[in-house]
């Protein structure tokens, strides 16, 4: 008696199972759909099969698997179209107690192809992930290069920053080496003096400044001039003009390589033009302030207007900050050319002058065209020359013009006999309302306009007499020195 998966016998008349199945015949390339598949002839049932003895198994060799007797299940798995000699090999029966393999195991080759495909997919995914990560890092780096932070550190400032010509900083940098601070000390026992400003006029060592800056040291005092680099030089007065408030100094041992400041044309200055003032306000050397031309032809007396030694100017008005110590310093235009000499400020308590009051935005400068003429005269002769009309006018009244006084100082005639005014037909009591096309409202304004001209100039005068307006042309005379 035998039990399935038990026993070792096989039918005697059944051929031995080949170790390798034969190659099945190739079916026709285009078989007819109506031709039925051949039916295999069933093998006759064997009689009592003989018992076949097994060969001894050598030591260490694996025990052979028991033979499998074909049964109905095997017949069911046989291909229907198989021909003679095409029985499939019997399935391998596992040893007793071993797990039964699946009835239709997957072919080995497809398993290898599936494993290879999975591996290829994994490798492709890893490669794609690596490429994607690299591209992302590259894009991030490119993004960092193209987009900068809004916070700029000091290290990111350009190392070779240059200011464009015409900026205040550029103009100041060019002009400052030619602007000096002046220390004046009187010759008295107290050694009183003050600090002012000046600028290089020529390469010979002439310095232009205000008269009131050096007046205390003019007679027996000492003067020293200090450049922005800290080098100081002794200086002496070449000439002073009290009425113009202009003075010229000369360095006693002038260094080589002095750079004079360029002189502009004050007649072409327009209201609203930019201005740059350089000086030593309250002793603070090399101070730069800026503003604009606020007005032109302002009649200004640098004192209280009552003394004979007062200075008069038809000034350039600027709102650049000017304080005591700025006096004598240059007023520059946007190109760096000198258009005026800073001379006076309007203070809240004492009128025009150089009081210790601070700037209130009303500064006044001597037009450089006038200052240049005075400086050249002082360098040539050491004495100022003033243009005059030969008439004494009232210095107190304002608002209706400059009235010719009834008599001059010391009882002298108010109109100099055979002088310029007398030749033009002017008389005592006439009110001069215009001079050279500029309106006149007071005695100081008339003198300020006269001193913008030179001796010998012919100027048209408008005046009133007995309620009538008349005009005359006057040829200006001259006066040498301060009196």
Positions marked active-site? 212, 245, 327
Vertex 418, ends 414 and 419: CA angle to 5°?
A: 60
Look at residues 201, 185, 182 and name the one whose alpha carbon lies nearest to residue 193. 185
Beta-strand pair 232-241/330-332: unpaired
Beta-strand pair 458-465/468-475: antiparallel
- Cα separation, 394 vs 184, whole angstroms: 35
Contact present, 169 and 163 (Cβ < 8 Å):
yes
User: How deeply is 74 buried, as exposed, middle or buried, from its count of CB atoms within 10 A (0-12, 13-18, 19+)?
Assistant: middle
- Cα separation, 279 vs 88, whole angstroms: 120
What DSSP string describes 61-89? SPPPPPP----HHHHHHS-TT--TT-PPP
Give Cβ neighbours of residue 154 (< 8 Å, ≥ 6 apart). none
Cα torsion 231, 235, 239, 242: sign: positive
Vertex 393, ends 389 and 397: CA angle to 5°?
A: 145
Contact present, 451 and 300 (Cβ < 8 Å):
no
How many C-alpha atoms does 100 have within 13 Å on its Cβ side?
5
Dihedral angle at the C-alpha atoms of 227, 232, 238, 241, nearest 10 degrees?
Answer: 50
Q: CB count, 10 Å around CB of 187?
A: 15
């Amino acid at each position: 008696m035998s039990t399935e998966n038990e026993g070792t016998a096989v039918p005697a008349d059944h051929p031995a199972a080949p170790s390798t199945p034969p190659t099945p015949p190739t079916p026709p390339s285009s078989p007819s759909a109506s031709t039925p598949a051949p039916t295999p002839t069933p093998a006759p049932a064997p009689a009592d099969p003989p018992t076949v003895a097994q060969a001894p198994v050598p030591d260490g060799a694996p025990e052979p698997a028991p033979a499998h007797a074909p049964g109905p299940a095997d017949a069911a798995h046989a291909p229907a179209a198989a021909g003679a000699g095409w029985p499939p090999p019997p399935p391998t029966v596992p040893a007793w107690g071993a797990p039964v393999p699946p009835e239709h195991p997957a072919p080995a080759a497809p398993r290898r192809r599936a494993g290879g495909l999975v591996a290829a997919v994994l490798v492709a995914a890893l490669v794609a992930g690596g490429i994607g990560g690299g591209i992302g890092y590259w894009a991030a780096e490119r993004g960092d290069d193209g987009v900068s932070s809004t916070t700029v550190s000091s290290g990111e400032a350009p190392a070779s920053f240059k200011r464009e010509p015409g900026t205040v900083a550029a103009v100041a940098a060019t002009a400052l080496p030619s602007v000096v601070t002046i220390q004046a000390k009187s010759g008295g026992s107290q050694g009183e003096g003050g600090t002012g400003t000046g600028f290089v006029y020529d390469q010979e060592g002439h310095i232009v400044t205000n008269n009131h800056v050096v007046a205390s040291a003019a007679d027996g005092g000492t003067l020293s001039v200090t450049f922005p680099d800290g080098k100081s030089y002794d200086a002496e007065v070449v000439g002073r003009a009290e009425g113009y408030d202009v003075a010229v100094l000369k360095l006693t041992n002038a260094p080589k390589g002095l750079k004079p400041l360029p002189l502009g044309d004050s007649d072409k200055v327009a209201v609203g033009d930019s201005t740059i003032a350089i000086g030593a306000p309250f002793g603070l050397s090399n101070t730069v302030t800026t503003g604009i031309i606020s007005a032109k032809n302002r009649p200004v007396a640098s004192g209280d207007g009552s003394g004979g030694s007062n200075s008069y100017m038809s000034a350039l008005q600027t709102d650049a900050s000017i304080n005591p110590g700025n006096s004598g310093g240059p007023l520059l235009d946007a190109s760096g050319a000198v258009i005026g000499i800073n001379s006076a400020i309007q203070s809240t308590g004492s009128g025009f002058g150089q009081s210790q009051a601070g700037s209130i935005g009303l500064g006044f400068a001597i037009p450089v065209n006038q200052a240049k003429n005075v400086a050249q005269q002082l360098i040539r002769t050491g004495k100022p020359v003033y243009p005059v009309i030969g008439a004494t006018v009232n210095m107190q009244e304002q608002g209706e013009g400059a009235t010719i006084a009834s008599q001059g100082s010391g009882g002298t005639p108010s109109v100099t006999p055979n002088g310029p005014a007398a030749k033009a037909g002017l008389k005592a009591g006439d009110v001069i309302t215009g001079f050279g096309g500029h309106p006149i409202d007071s005695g100081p304004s008339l003198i300020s306009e006269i001193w913008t001209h030179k001796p010998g100039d012919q100027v048209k005068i408008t005046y009133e007499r007995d309620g009538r307006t008349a005009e005359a042309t006057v040829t200006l005379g001259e006066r040498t020195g301060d009196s």
